[in-house]
Structure 1
Amino acid sequence: MAKYVPSPSDWVREQVELYESSGGTKGTTLRDTGLPVVIVTHHGNKTGAIRKTPLMRVKDGNDYILVGSQGGAPTDPAWVHNLRVDPNVEIRDETVVQPMRVREVKDERERSRLWKLAVAAFPPYAEYQERTDRRIPLFVAERSGSPAP
């Protein structure tokens, strides 16, 4: 069975710990923004370890849109590579935890529509895209019957 390896980033590790230790009643917003986040549990591509990543809550009906912005950095965040290899995730949205399966959005019309939803939920995404030469990847997490990590 895979082991959970906390993030080396202090704020990520602390947010995940608070979110989960409270059963999803605390730590549910991004630092000082007051904007909601979800915790995405996934497997590390290289280590196989269980990883937990707080991401902005962006919804499209019952689905979640996961945005690989990394603040407009020149490279994708590590979790993007993990999801490309293993699309089975678990998403904690406050007190609700559910297994989901992700797919990377490739269709231009779908991507355009979902990008608008993402920017509406978290306006800095637009600035992050301008800041980098890479195209920020989008994933859709959909309900799944498969086991979570």
Structure 2
Amino acid sequence: MSDLPRIDPSRNLTRPARAYAAVLRTPPGRWLAINVASKVDPWLMRTSRGKVGMGLMLPSALLTTKGAKSGQERVNPVLYFHDGDDVIVIASSFGRDKHPAWYHNLKAHPDVRIAKDGGGAPRTAVEVTDADEIARLWSQADRIYPPYANYRQRTDAVGRRIPIVRLIAG
């Protein structure tokens, strides 16, 4: 199992990462992320032990949850960053109308793991609900992935609030 590299949201994105994020903001880039990367990344990241994924230079890892209904293990690529010892993930679903399936899974079964290769130490998922904390974490999330602002506009238009989830060690 690979470790989860520490992602400091106060650091600026590299120029290539900003360019890649800009591509993902376009309709073809968004389509590629939704229809190809989200399906191929679990295999790529597991096979390469976390060294290769379609997220390229973005801070991505594999989140392992239990299915909300089935209890079966589910693995999904997510973007993440650190807040102290905790890992923060955003249930954006690319700004679509519904929450991603992994969000429903961790709400039903909050014991999760996250790592570059799909393993990782056990963590507990807790949704962030405090308005000031949400605002602070959004400002950090926007630094690691600028398209989040566009995703919020999309979901606001349909009345969906994008959840922010804190993954607590232990």
Alignment of 1:5-44 (within 5 A): 10-27=36-53, 30=55, 34-44=57-67
Q: Give SS of 2:52's match.
A: coil
Q: Give SS of 1:83's match.
A: helix
What is the distance in 2 between the residues matched to 1:91 and 1:136? Answer: 20
In angstroms, what is the RMSD of aligned CA positions?
A: 1.9
TM-score normalized by structure 2? 0.72
Where structure 1 has 5 or more consecutive residues not aligned to the other structure, the ranges are 1-8, 145-149
User: For the Cα contact (< 8 Å) 1:42–1:51, is it kept in 2?
Assistant: yes
1:94 Cα deviation from its structure 2 partner: 6.0
1:110 Cα deviation from its structure 2 partner: 1.1
> Identity percentage over the alignment?
35
What is the distance in 1 between the residues matched to 2:128 and 2:59? Answer: 22
TM-score normalized by structure 1? 0.81
User: For the Cα contact (< 8 Å) 1:105–1:137, is it kept in 2?
Assistant: yes
1:134 and 2:157 matched: no
1:54 and 2:77 matched: yes
Residue number among 131, 134, 137 corresponding to 1:108 in the alignment: 131
Q: 1:49 to 1:96 in 2, by over 3 A?
A: closer
Where structure 2 has 5 or more consecutive residues not aligned to the other structure, the ranges are 1-34
User: For the Cα contact (< 8 Å) 1:43–1:86, is it kept in 2?
Assistant: yes
1:61 Cα deviation from its structure 2 partner: 2.3
User: For the Cα contact (< 8 Å) 2:61–2:80, is it kept in 1?
Assistant: yes
- Over residues 44-84 of structure 1, what are the superposed CA-to-partner deviations in whole Å (9 max), with x where a residue is unaligned? 10111110011112221221111011111111111111111
Choose between structure 1 and 2: higher helix proportion. Answer: 2
User: For the Cα contact (< 8 Å) 1:45–1:85, is it kept in 2?
Assistant: yes
The aligned counterpart of 1:143 is: 169
